[in-house]
Amino acid sequence: MLLANLFRWNTGPAATQRERGSGSVSEKIELPGHGEVIVGCRLSCEGEGCPRPQLRALKALDEHERGVVIEIVTDNPSVMETIPSMMDMFEGKHLATLKDKANWRIFLRRSA
Amino acid sequence: MSANAEAMKQRSLLAHPGGYKAMAIILLVSVLSFVMLAMDMRWIYLLVYVWFGVIYGVLLQYGRFCMASAIRDLFAIKVPRMAVGVMIATALFSITAGLVTVSGYSTFHPHPLGWHIIVGGLVFGFGMIFTGGCASGSLYKCGEGNIASMLVLLSISFSQALFVDMGSWSNRFAPSSWVESATEKGMPESLTVNDGWFDTFTAGYVWDLSGSTVAQSVASGNTWIDVFVGNALLGAILPTIVLLILLYMTTFRKGYIRRNKIESPAFKDHLTGFWSMMTASKNTALAGLGLGVFAGLQMWATGALREHYNIFNFGELLKNMGYTEGLSVQETVFDPGYWYITTQEAQLGGWVMDKVGMDVMDNIFFGLMNGIPNPLINAPLLMSVGIIAGAAILALTRHEFKWKVPNMETAVFAIVGGALMGIGARLGMGCNVGAFFAAVTNGDMTGWIFLVGMLGGGLLGVKVFTMWVDWRTKDDDFDF
């Protein structure tokens, strides 16, 4: 499965994204300091290098309405640290980052 | 077991498989070090490179320290945290480098000033946006299991080796003035300095240029003033402060004022905001501090060892120890004595090309200056291996190690971007570390020129990359 990834041209095609759990969702999750929230969109960015996950996160924030919680799944430590910092400059709020084995799940919400 | 003891065990380095693997790497490097020293104490010279590499790797991974990230994050998402970390490291290294210089142990030589510096920076900066990491960033990301970064390293290695060993077909691109000047240098015929674009560029253009440090320009007669006022303050710290203020004004200030709901910001609000920017990413700032300190210590250690062994270059020591294969015609090898990245990667590429039957010693880069020693005794190359090991040690400990196989797009970007980085590094006489970091911190202002080039190339790279991502995602059911 890992080697098969090499022969995928990009992470764009919708089918690939759905296989990896990307897309519109409606899942409840408990976030520290925010209680139970409903995740409205998940971006699977595993294997993606900077700045693709950051650009995708910005686009997702832009495409969704205020209040929608967006989850970004990444295995890139730089992405994990940069995305929360980005929220200072863009209309988003970083809610929490959860660690899941070697992945991070970053939760954002559009604030304006 | 009590709850406290259980909690302490969980926090222990050995509490998980990654921790065991990290300890295994430390043990392996330690055992190999002891074995080498037992064989010949003179291997200490090489082992200094290795262990400083391990330290750099730990610091780079700890702070996610990457100059590509610094430039890319500024232009793509307006986040200055990595740029701040780089500036902190630059200011601090200038002080430690200054201490090394006044002690007489500095191994630094300024680069010649010319257009090639900015062009090299442009090409390098453009390439690193697509690879996702600079030269040092790609190394530490290898230690995190990032296979795309490994492709970048391979690409940088072979692109440089091929670039410096260009054959006669490239002569048409060299001005006749370069050819004449190269011929007049009277170099050994085996080096064919007037054949091949890069040789002609080096011998017929670069060698006719000159370079100096701010200390050499100040020349007050007092070494401490020359070095600390010249190199450190004027050459590095003041420009760094100016850049930090610019970063605050253009990227951090607006968000800080909005977050803190400050209606009419006074000067003290800006001071607080500036400090907030400096400490926004503590691990990056700490990594910058650490890199600045240890980079200076390495210069001191290598300089002291050269004095101890009465050598100018590691090639002399290798020859004394009986290792003569791969030395240059001057019996030298690449031995900067400080943190460097790309030249040793070129040597790896050149060594492989030599083993498959290509003649790579008929040029200036390998034949005259750097040689192609066996990778197992190539000190700067083992420093790069140390960086990978150090990053792996920390990544394993923090559960951040994961084999990441790139998709085809990322792999292509890694190879093409890596090739551009390799070419840019050779044109600019180094990379983000050798041509910028080591240069500016030792009073060589060509480092700032290289940075300008990197910024320009990085800006162009971000624009192209963003257009690419937009184009590739426009037909998706969801646009991101």
Query: Which tens digit of pLDDT belongs to each residue from B397-406?
Result: 998 999 998 8
Residue identified by tokens 């994961």 is B402
Determine whether the interchain pair A11/B280 forms a contact, defined as Cβ–Cβ distance below 8 Å.
no
> Does residue A84 form part of some domain?
yes
Query: What are phi and psi for residue B151, nearest 5 degrees?
Result: -65, -40
Distance CA B137, CA B139 (A): 5
- 10 Å CB burial of residue B281 (0-12, 13-18, 19+) is buried
Question: Does B165 contact A at CB distance below 8 Å?
Answer: no
* Mutation to test the B interface, candidates A17, A82, A104, most B Cβ within 10 Å: A82
> Does residue A91 form part of some domain?
yes
Distance CA B296, CA B300 (A): 6
Q: Which pLDDT does position A86 carry in this prediction?
A: 85
- Full residue range of the structural domain in which residue A80 is found: 43-112
Question: Do the beta carbons of residue B69 and residue B265 sit within 8 Å?
Answer: no
Question: Do the beta carbons of residue B294 and residue B60 sit within 8 Å?
Answer: no
Query: What are phi and psi for residue B471, nearest 5 degrees?
Result: -70, -40
Determine whether the interchain pair B79/A9 forms a contact, defined as Cβ–Cβ distance below 8 Å.
no
Sign of CA dihedral B443, B446, B449, B450: negative
**Structure tokens given for B14:** 């050995």
What mean pLDDT comes out for the span B85-92? 91
Cα-based distances in Å from A32 to A29, B164, B282, B381: 10, 55, 22, 45
Distance CA B199, CA B195 (A): 7
Residue identified by tokens 């065991």 is B20
**Interface pTM (ipTM) of the complex?**
0.80
Residue identified by tokens 């990085």 is B458
Distance CA B12, CA A107 (A): 29
pTM of the model: 0.90
Q: Which pLDDT does position A101 carry in this prediction?
A: 76
Element spanning B427, H or E = helix B408-427
In this structure, the dihedral spanned by the alpha carbons of residues B147, B148, B151 and B157, taken in order and rounded to 10 degrees, is -110
Query: Highest mean pLDDT: which of B64-68, B78-82, B333-337?
Result: B333-337
Q: Which of B376, B27, A65, B408 is nearest to B19 (CA)?
A: B27
Query: Which amino acid, B173?
Result: F
Q: Which pLDDT does position B479 carry in this prediction?
A: 40
Determine whether the interchain pair B404/A24 forms a contact, defined as Cβ–Cβ distance below 8 Å.
no
What mean pLDDT comes out for the span B14-26? 88
Query: Which amino acid, A62?
Result: D
Task: Give the side-chain half-sphere CA count within 13 A for B349.
Answer: 24
Query: Which amino acid, B154?
Result: L
CB within 8 Å of chain A, chain B residues 199-258: 251-252, 254-256
* Residue A8 clears pLDDT 90, i.e. is over it: no
Q: Chain B: nearest CA to A89, how far in angstroms? A: 6
Determine whether the interchain pair A2/B405 forms a contact, defined as Cβ–Cβ distance below 8 Å.
yes
Question: Do the beta carbons of residue B131 and residue B71 sit within 8 Å?
Answer: no
Q: Give SS3 for A70.
A: strand
Going by the DSSP 8-state scheme, the letter that residue B65 receives in this structure is -
Question: Which residues, in sequence order, are CB contacts of B371 under 8 Å at separation 6+?
Answer: B315, B326, B327, B328, B332, B333, B334, B347, B361
**Structure tokens given for B94:** 């200038």
Q: Which pLDDT does position A65 carry in this prediction?
A: 86
Determine whether the interchain pair A59/B475 forms a contact, defined as Cβ–Cβ distance below 8 Å.
no
Question: Do the beta carbons of residue B49 and residue B379 sit within 8 Å?
Answer: yes
Determine whether the interchain pair A6/B81 forms a contact, defined as Cβ–Cβ distance below 8 Å.
no
Query: Which amino acid, B329?
Result: V
Question: Which residues, in sequence order, are CB contacts of B234 under 8 Å at separation 6+?
Answer: B214, B218
> Does residue A80 form part of some domain?
yes
From chain B, the residues in CB contact with A20 under 8 A are: none
* Mutation to test the A interface, candidates B64, B69, B77, B146, most A Cβ within 10 Å: B77
Query: Highest mean pLDDT: which of A64-73, B8-17, B137-146?
Result: B137-146
**Residue B255 pLDDT grade (very low, low, confident, very high; cuts 50, 70, 90):** confident
Determine whether the interchain pair B79/A89 forms a contact, defined as Cβ–Cβ distance below 8 Å.
yes
Determine whether the interchain pair A49/B146 forms a contact, defined as Cβ–Cβ distance below 8 Å.
yes
Q: Give SS3 for B192.
A: coil
Query: Which amino acid, A6?
Result: L
Q: Which pLDDT does position A52 carry in this prediction?
A: 84
Nearest by CB to B407, which of A11, A59, A60?
A11
* Residue B478 clears pLDDT 50, i.e. is over it: no
Give the least confident one: B10-19, B35-44, B222-231, B410-419. B10-19
Query: Which amino acid, A61?
Result: L
Q: Chain B: nearest CA to A8, how far in angstroms? A: 5
* Residue A17 clears pLDDT 60, i.e. is over it: no
With CA atoms as reference, the chain A residue closest to B258 would be A88
pLDDT digits (tens, 9 = 90+) for B448-459: 999 999 999 999
Chain A / chain B CB contacts < 8 angstroms = 131
What mean pLDDT comes out for the span B22-50? 97
Q: Give SS3 for A99.
A: strand
Question: Does B132 contact A at CB distance below 8 Å?
Answer: yes
Nearest by CB to A6, which of B259, B399, B406?
B406
> Does residue A95 form part of some domain?
yes
Cα-based distances in Å from B378 to B279, B344, B348, B371, B374: 38, 8, 9, 10, 6
- The DSSP annotation for A16-59 comes to HHHHTT-EEEEEEEEETTTEEEEEEEEEE-TTPPTTHHHHHHHH
What is the CA A31 to chain-centroid distance, rounded?
A: 15
Question: Does B70 contact A at CB distance below 8 Å?
Answer: no
Q: Give SS3 for A107.
A: strand
From chain B, the residues in CB contact with A92 under 8 A are: none
Distance CA B263, CA B287 (A): 34
> Does residue A112 form part of some domain?
yes
Query: Strands, E, within B11-99: which ranges?
Result: none
Q: How far apart are the first and last CA of chain A?
A: 40
Q: Give SS3 for A94.
A: strand
> Does residue A19 form part of some domain?
no
Determine whether the interchain pair B406/A101 forms a contact, defined as Cβ–Cβ distance below 8 Å.
no
Nearest by CB to A43, which of B280, B404, B480?
B480
Question: Which neighbouring-strand residues pair with A28?
Answer: A38
Question: Does B264 contact A at CB distance below 8 Å?
Answer: no
Is it true that the peptide bond before A51 is cis, omega within 30 degrees of 0?
yes
Q: Structural domain tally of chain A?
A: 1
Nearest by CB to B407, which of A43, A47, A101?
A47
Nearest by CB to B72, which of A50, A60, A86?
A50
Cα-based distances in Å from A97 to A77, A94, B277, B322, B425: 12, 8, 21, 55, 37
Question: Which neighbouring-strand residues pair with A97?
Answer: A106
Residue identified by tokens 């897309």 is A23
Determine whether the interchain pair A59/B403 forms a contact, defined as Cβ–Cβ distance below 8 Å.
no
Domain CATH code at residue A88 = 3.30.110.40
* Residue B259 clears pLDDT 90, i.e. is over it: no
Count of C-beta atoms within a 10 Å radius of residue B37: 13
Q: Give SS3 for A95.
A: strand
> Does residue A92 form part of some domain?
yes
Count of C-beta atoms within a 10 Å radius of residue B259: 12
pLDDT digits (tens, 9 = 90+) for B274-314: 999 998 888 888 898 899 899 999 999 999 999 999 999 99
Nearest by CB to B255, which of A12, A77, A88?
A88
Question: Do the beta carbons of residue B395 and residue B61 sit within 8 Å?
Answer: yes
